[in-house]
Amino acid sequence: MSAGEDEQREEPFYLGVPTRIGASLLHLSGELGGMIVLAARLLRRLVPPRVDRDELVKNLHKTGVRSVGIVSVTAIFVGAIMVIQAAPLVMRFNAKEIVGWGAGFATLREVGPLLIALMFSGRVGANNTAELGTMVVTDQIDALRALAIDPLAYLILPRVISMVVMLFLLTIVGDAVAIVGAIGAAKVLLDVDPRSFISSLTVLLDEWDLATGLIKSVAFGVMIALTSCHFGLSVKGGAPGVGRAVNAAVVAAASGIFVLDYFSTYLLG
């Protein structure tokens, strides 16, 4: 067998696995390090605050007000689904009086913040990555630097603040709408009186159940903001690179949300 044939021989699959795992870990470490560096650079611009107010107001409207509709539609079905899931057990044990507690507990602490964050990531995070990536490939970021304008203070920091603040507020709105959806589903499916539903919700749940979901929403907002901005600013390769960056940002944000949800659920109880 000639030397050329030896070079063309394919490497066994199992020998390439460690190489691929190592390359994946290096790539993941690089992206995670990039987000940490971006977070540190943004924190430096908060002391003292250097935020463009007009840009902040514009982003608060764009990320928050325009998301109320889709978040409300998602939330009302989340509440109804919680009742549908609880209905078999409630009917089996004749425990209609606690359906409000069951639906509220799952919605406020876990399902509501999680699904609203995923919806927010798909709508706002992906759009933010596409916008920043387009500005990178068209040299608009470099143009800001040429005009002695700090892109992080003028462009990135308002977006990060608006995404964190508005996801927190949208979670409050979503929780309220989800409870309304759960009340309606409980009345239609189980003939549970709304007053009985609200009574079990307010008596058996405490403030910490609501606070747990809201704390999670802040963590999810930071994750979505950092991933969308990091991948947007890291675009390479022109227009195709923008598409790859959007895809990577959505995947990274969703993965990060589930990882944060696991650890926050464990730590917050």
Question: Lowest mean pLDDT: which of 29-33, 167-171, 224-228?
Answer: 29-33
**What is the reported pLDDT for 100?**
84
pLDDT at 10: 62
Which range, of 31-35, 69-73, 95-99, 145-149, averages the lowest pLDDT?
95-99
Give pLDDT, residue 251.
93
Of 205 and 157, the one with more pLDDT:
157
Residue 104's pLDDT is what?
86
Q: What is the mean pLDDT of residues 51-58?
A: 87
Lowest mean pLDDT among 191-200, 219-228, 240-249: 191-200
Report yes or no: 225 and 160 within 8 Å, Cβ to Cβ: yes
Question: What was the pLDDT predicted at 2?
Answer: 53
Residue 263 scores a pLDDT above 60: yes
Distance, in Å, from the CA atom of 5 to the CA atom of 165, rounded to the nearest integer, reads 61
